[in-house]
C-alpha cells in the first residue's frame, strides 16, 4: 500500500513515523509547499520523496490530509477526478462539520473524516513524534457515508497504529471538541495574557511551578492554526466559554461572600471528573 501525506507538520510527520512500522505500507510520499518542511522531513526520514498533490493522488492508494481545515477543503475540491476509484482520502482536521459539508458528493465514498485526539503545543516537522497516536482516541465522523473499501482501509490503519476508534456525527464531534480541546486552548491563551499584562510579570513568572506551567502550556500553540479552529467552530466555542464563565462566576461569588462551604462543595464536585477517567 502506497501512502501519501499532505502536510508534514506535527500531525502529518507523526503519522509518517507511525506508518513506517506497518508491514502493509510499501512507501510513504509527502506533499508540502514549505521547502524548509521538505528538507527537515527528508532529513528525518519521514517520507521517501515529495510530489505535487496531483501526482500524489495518482501514485498513492491512500492520502492523508494533515493540513488546516481550509486547506483540506481546498484539496477535496481538487479531488473530483477520484470519482469511481478505490482511492482513499483521510482528513485529520480538528473540526469536522465544515469538512464533511464541503466534500464534493461525487467523491463522498472516497473520503473518511477523522480527528485523532492527540497533539502537542509544538508544530512543524521537527515536532513529529514517535508514538503520538498510540493508545489515543481517533474520532471517525459520519463513517456510514464512506465507501466500504475506504472505511475498511481507515479502520485497518488506525487500529494498526494503536488508536482507539470512536464513531460519531460531525456536528456532535464539533460540540464535544469545543469543550475538551478548543476551550482549553482559548483559556490558556487568556491565562498567559493575564500574567503578561501585569507590571511585574517577570517576578510573577519566577514563581511559576507545575500548575501554571500545565495550564499555560497550550498558549505556545500556533496562533494561525488556532485562529482557524476558533473561527470554524465559533458557535460551539462561544457556548462552551459562556458555560465556563458561569462556573467562574459561581466560584467568584463564593469567594466574594466568604462562603467557603460553597467553595469547597464546588471543588469536590470538580473532583468527580477523574472518577470518569479511571
Give the C-alpha separation, 178 to 185, whole Å. Answer: 10
Please name the residues in contact with 87: beta carbons below 8 A apart, sequence gap of 6 or more.
57, 60, 61, 62, 63, 110
181 secondary structure, DSSP code:
I
Please identify which residue in the block is written with the cell numbers 489515543.
136
Same CATH fold assignment for domains 2-168 and 173-277: no
What is the Cβ-side half-sphere exposure of residue 109, based on CA atoms within 13 angstroms? 11
- Domain edges within the chain: 2-168, 173-277
Considering Cα of 7, then 13, then 15, then 20, what sign does the dihedral take? positive
CA distance 230 to 190: 14
User: Could you confirm whether domain 173-277 is CATH 1.10.3660.10?
Assistant: yes
CA distance 146 to 168: 13
128: left (phi over 0), alpha (psi -120 to 50) or beta: beta
For the chain, 278 residues long, give each residue's pLDDT as a single digit of tens. Answer: 999 999 998 899 999 999 999 999 999 999 998 888 899 989 888 999 999 999 999 999 999 999 988 999 999 999 999 999 999 999 999 999 999 999 999 999 999 999 999 877 677 788 888 899 999 999 999 999 999 999 999 999 999 999 999 999 999 999 999 998 999 999 999 998 988 888 787 777 776 666 788 888 888 888 888 898 999 999 999 999 999 999 999 999 999 999 999 999 999 999 988 887 66
For residue 201, the Cα-to-chain-centroid distance in whole angstroms is 31
Radius of gyration for the chain, computed over Cα atoms and rounded to the nearest angstrom: 21
Residue in 229, 50, 27, 197 with CA at minimum distance from that of residue 123: 229
Identify the residue whose cell numbers are 470512536: 166
> What is the Cα–Cα distance from 250 to 264, expressed in whole angstroms?
12
- The CATH homologous superfamily of the domain defined by 2-168: NAD(P)-binding Rossmann-like Domain (3.40.50.720)
Amino acid at each position: 500500500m502506497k501512502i501519501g501525506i499532505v502536510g508534514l507538520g506535527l500531525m502529518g510527520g507523526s503519522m509518517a513515523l507511525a506508518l513506517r512500522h506497518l508491514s502493509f505500507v510499501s512507501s510513504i510520499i509527502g506533499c508540502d509547499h514549505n521547502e524548509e518542511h521538505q528538507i527537515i522531513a527528508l532529513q528525518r526520514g519521514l517520507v521517501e520523496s515529495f510530489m505535487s498533490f496531483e501526482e500524489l493522488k495518482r501514485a498513492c492508494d491512500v492520502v492523508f490530509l494533515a493540513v488546516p481545515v481550509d486547506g483540506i477543503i481546498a484539496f477535496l475540491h481538487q479531488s473530483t477526478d477520484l470519482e469511481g476509484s478505490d482511492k482513499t482520502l483521510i482528513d485529520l482536521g480538528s473540526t469536522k462539520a465544515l469538512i464533511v459539508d464541503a466534500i464534493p458528493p461525487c467523491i463522498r465514498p472516497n473520503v473518511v473524516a477523522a480527528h485523532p485526539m492527540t497533539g502537542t503545543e509544538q508544530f512543524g516537522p521537527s515536532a513529529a513524534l514517535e508514538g503520538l497516536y498510540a493508545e489515543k482516541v481517533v474520532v471517525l465522523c459520519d463513517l456510514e457515508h464512506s465507501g466500504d473499501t475506504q472505511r475498511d482501509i481507515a479502520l485497518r490503519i488506525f487500529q494498526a497504529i494503536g488508536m482507539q476508534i470512536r464513531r460519531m456525527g460531525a456536528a456532535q464531534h464539533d460540540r464535544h471538541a469545543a469543550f475538551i480541546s478548543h476551550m482549553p486552548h482559548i483559556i490558556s491563551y487568556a491565562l498567559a495574557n493575564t500574567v503578561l499584562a501585569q507590571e511585574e510579570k517577570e517576578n510573577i513568572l519566577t514563581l511559576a511551578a507545575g500548575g501554571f506551567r500545565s495550564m499555560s502550556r497550550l498558549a505556545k500553540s500556533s496562533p494561525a492554526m488556532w485562529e482557524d479552529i476558533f473561527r470554524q467552530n465559533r458557535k460551539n466555542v462561544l457556548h462552551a466559554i459562556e458555560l465556563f464563565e458561569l462556573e467562574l462566576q459561581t466560584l467568584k461569588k463564593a469567594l466574594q461572600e466568604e462562603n467557603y462551604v460553597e467553595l469547597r462543595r464546588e471543588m469536590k464536585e470538580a473532583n468527580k471528573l477523574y472518577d470518569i477517567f479511571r
